[in-house]
Amino acid sequence: MNHQHPDFCGIDIIPLPAFRDNYLWLLRRGTRAAVVDPGDAAVVERHLAAHGLALCAILITHHHADHIGGVAELVAERDIPVFGPAAEAIAGVNRPLSEGDTADLPELGIAFRTLEVPGHTRTHIAYLASGILFCGDTLFSAGCGRLLGGTAAQLHDSLRRLAELPDDTAVYCTHEYTLANLAFARAAEPSNAERDGWQVECARLRAAGRPTLPSRIGRERQINPFLRTTENGVIAAVAAHAGVRPAGSRECFAALRAWKDNF
């Protein structure tokens, strides 16, 4: 399987499976590597050792244990930058980032721009560089993160922002939730041919043991009900489920999020 992203000459982005359904995304250029949300140090160390790589940086999107659990061990004998949200006290983070700040990874020849995307947590950030988005637990393929600190309005607005990125932006989220999300998406918008096509493709990928990620912003805008809260099909399904027609996009999103919580 080739994980090389065509926009990044010489950089591979590799999913390291961890826990039940996490991907720890590892960026690699030559013998240099960086890792996003290393919840498990052993998984990262094994890959570094097996491929003779030197870890140069860590990027953290938010403070949940499955995203930061490996940081202390990874930095114990390394003096490397650990980027993370400035608004949250996270042990090990030595490069706190706020909206618009740059996470510079000179060893890999990449610099990410910080987007504050609250909702899943109050202080969640995402990393964006020419066509590549690491969005943690904010946006998933066909779904979005739960509200574990932020508000529905915040997550709605954060997703709106991500949806405005160029269509071909590659979406690297942290969890392989796609098939389960697609089951809910079918309930939330019964008629959506693009979504049905993506479901067939994802079932094929999973049967072959392959990730459904990264997704693309353009695809998510077409298939992800949480980005489609102004579409008639979604509004009608939410109205039928909740017994009341949502007053607007934010209300539709909040009702959808609550519905999915108990789906």
Residue 47 or 64 having the CB closest to Zn ion = 64
By CB under 5 A, residue 156 contacts Zn ion:
no
Q: Measured from the CB atom, is 26 or 68 closer to Zn ion?
A: 68
Q: Which is nearer to Zn ion, 32 or 175 (CB)?
A: 175
DSSP secondary structure code for residue 190 in this structure? S
Tokens of 28: 């690699």
Residue closer to Zn ion (CB basis): 137 or 189: 137
Q: For residue 124, state whether it binds Zn ion (rule: CB under 5 A).
A: no
| Smallest distance from Zn ion to CB 159, Å | 15
Smallest gap, in angstroms, from Cβ of residue 167 to Zn ion? 26
Least distance (Å) from Zn ion to the CB of residue 88?
12
The question of whether 62 is a catalytic residue gets the answer yes
Report which DSSP code applies to 131.
Answer: T
Least Cβ distance, residue 64 to Zn ion (angstroms)? 4
Q: Which of 107, 137, 176, 220 binds Zn ion (CB under 5 A)?
A: 137
120 included as an active-site residue: yes
Residues in the chain: 263
Tell me which long-range contacts 10-17 makes (C-beta under 8 A, separation of at least 24).
Answer: 10/109, 11/108, 11/109, 11/110, 13/132, 13/172, 13/214, 14/47, 15/211, 15/213, 16/43, 16/44, 16/47, 17/43, 17/176
Residue 189 engages Zn ion in binding (rule: CB under 5 A): no
Q: Please confirm, yes or no, whether 3 is among the known catalytic residues.
A: no
* Positions 61 through 120 that interact with Zn ion (CB under 5 A): 64
Distance CA 56, CA 248 (A): 45
Radius of gyration of the chain (CA): 18
- Given the residues 62, 104, 241, 261, select the one marked as catalytic: 62
CB 170 within 8 Å of CB 214: yes
Binding footprint of Zn ion on the chain (CB under 5 A):
64, 137
